[in-house]
Chains A and B, each alone.
Chain A
Amino acid sequence: MAIAEAGLERPNWLARWTQEHLRVLFFSLGKLARAPMAAALTALVIGIALALPAGLFVAVRNLSTVGYSWQESLQISLFLKDSVSDERGKALAREIGAETGVARATYISREQALAEFRELSGFGEALDLLKDNPLPPVIAVTPARGQTKAEVRSLLARLSQRPEVDLAKLDQQWLERLYAVLSIAEHAVGIIALLLGLAVMVIIGNTIRLDIEARREEIEVMKLIGAPHSFVRRPFLYSGVWFGLGGGLLAWGLVALATHLLDAPTAQLAALYDSTYRIAGLSLSDGLALVAAGIVLGWSGAFATVTHRLAQIEPR
């Protein structure tokens, strides 16, 4: 008789652990496969919730890249006093060009400035009405690459101290505004990511909760025959991980699709500004981080819900 058979040896914990996780892995996948539409919808909702902050992140990063490339074409304009001669101006430009922190300094004489203005502004005829050339000589200073904002600022202060200089101007206010906006956007991405991360946990938690309610009797039976919490909990945690994984992959796909769709229009826009700038999507490591975030959120959403609900379900 079966009952008289000798007791069995349990495999070691590693073998038990591996076997149990493999079992739950296939069990949870099978469960998803039995209700593919419901699972796909849940993953889609999670995917959209994750794609929003990821998309914003990509947008902000692209904008700051563009801003940074503009900063490199930044110039300090030194308007010289009228009393400064052409020779002195050229010599001054050479002097400044040799200073540290300066990439290039070009002297633009009053005549050159006038000719340029006549050519580019479209007000050439109006200038003919003036007796004198109203434009001062200018030295255009390009700061060296990789200078910080503070360094550029101190260079500006230094140059404006020179006796020949009437006015030194760094037209960077708009750039500072852009950076301020970008910094707000970066914080906003963080906050939105936090909120939508919570939303993902709630979505997954709610899905798992419905699943738990549907399987309440099964859970009771399992507890009756001595299943520990970890055993009952495991399939639900796997479900959460699958939802998170699916959602993360979908979010990656959505962001990739959006960047692909925006690629041609951006290239066109950049071409209008004589730039070869191309929009940058999520890198491999960004994408993997997105998927990992999905998995972590899925797991923790499931864990919080299951732990909370299982304590309430006791066999009658």
Chain B
Amino acid sequence: MTDLIRFDRVSYRYPGGQDVLADVSFAIAQGEMAYITGPSGAGKTTVLRLIAALCRATRGQIVVMGQNLSTLKPRHVPAFRQRLGLVFQNFNLLYDRTVFDNVALPLVIRGYAHADIGRRVRAALDAVGLLGKEKVLPLTLSGGEQQRVGIARAIVTKPALILADEPTGNLDPEMALEVMRGFARFNEVGVTVLVATHAIDLIEAVPRRIIHLEQGRITDKHPLAASKLKEAASHGHR
């Protein structure tokens, strides 16, 4: 088994009736890192939500880490989600708890021993360069630091798969590049990483395979940087 994620002719339609994904098929191999790109509303986030079992495909099969998601029972969803590391654009931290408590949460949910949790959390914070900030509340941190707390929380359980939805959307370019390099480093030690983004410059700086969506379908086109949009328009590219 080398495919960690496999989409087989997957469609997704909002309960309202609007099609978001149509006939999408792709596979991500174990240990691969890939980007999902495309304009807003192309379905990038929906792909990640489907993988994380936050919603269910209207048609088609999705297999993630050997689990067919269409047969996943609702009561087994939490256990499945515990095997993923999720990173969000808006960080999704708990703002009334310290950095340490935020990062420790996935381990607390699993019921690890106190001493082990402390060791693991410090290791994860060390990996994102926030070792000195354990006792700080997230709101006193910069956006980049908050996102690194979010990443530390995603990697603290050592998941085989990290899903990141616009992880750099709220960060300045320098911070964004640092975060993307961080994902590449996790990937180098064997973690499969899937990042939804439209930060073209970052993709160019950390190049990996690209899955490009447009209007809910995978296309061969590639995302364009803002500086090249005009040029492309004059060539009739778009």
Residues of A near any B CB (own CB < 8 A): 1-5, 7-8, 10-11, 15-17, 19-20, 23, 218, 220-229, 231, 314-315
Contact = CB atoms under 8 A, between A and B. Distances in A.
B113 A15 contact: yes
B186 A226 contact: no
Contacts of A15: 113
B158 interface: yes
B78 A228 contact: yes
Given A10-B111, A19-B114, A226 B120 contact: no
Interface in B113-130: 113-114, 116, 120, 123-124, 126-127
Given A2-B127, A23-B108, A225-B105, 5 more contacts: A5-B120, A15-B113, A221-B92, A227-B109, A228-B75
Nearest to B84: A226
A-B pairs with lowest CB-CB distance, top 4:
A2-B123, A16-B111, A226-B81, A226-B82
Contacts of A23: 108
Contacts of A226: 78-84, 106, 109
Contacts of A19: 111, 113-114
A4 B189 contact: yes
B148 interface: no
Contacts of B191: 3
Nearest to A311: B74
**Chain A interface SS verdict (over half):** helix
A8 B155 contact: no
A203 to B, nearest CB: 25
A2 B126 contact: yes
**Which of A2, A220, A229 has the most C-beta atoms of chain B within 10 angstroms of its own C-beta?**
A2
Q: How extensive is the interface on chain B, given as a class?
A: 35 or more
B120 A1 contact: no
A220 B94 CA distance: 10
B171 interface: no
B26 interface: no
B86 A8 contact: no
25 contacts: A2-B120, A2-B124, A3-B127, A3-B155, A3-B191, A4-B189, A5-B123, A8-B116, A10-B112, A11-B111, A11-B112, A16-B111, A19-B111, A20-B111, A23-B108, A221-B92, A224-B86, A224-B92, A225-B105, A225-B109, A226-B79, A226-B80, A226-B83, A226-B84, A315-B54
B203 interface: no
Contacts of A223: 78
B185 interface: yes
Nearest to B162: A3
A2 B94 CA distance: 23
Interface in B163-208: 185-186, 189, 191
B105 A222 contact: yes
Nearest to A8: B116
B78 A11 contact: no
A32 to B, nearest CB: 15
B212 interface: no
B131 to A, nearest CB: 11
Given A10-B110, A19-B113, A1 B92 contact: no
A289 to B, nearest CB: 34
Contacts of A5: 120, 123, 158
Contacts of A218: 94, 96
A15 B113 CA distance: 8
Nearest to B107: A8
A181 B108 CA distance: 58
Interface string B39-68: 000000000000010100000000000000
B12 to A, nearest CB: 15
B20 interface: no
Contacts of B83: 226
Contacts of A227: 78, 105, 109
Contacts of A2: 120, 123-124, 126-127, 155
Nearest to B110: A10
Contacts of A231: 78, 109
A132 B52 CA distance: 108
A34 B210 CA distance: 49
Contact of A1 (B108, B112, B185): B185
B37 to A, nearest CB: 22
A11 B114 CA distance: 10
B139 interface: no
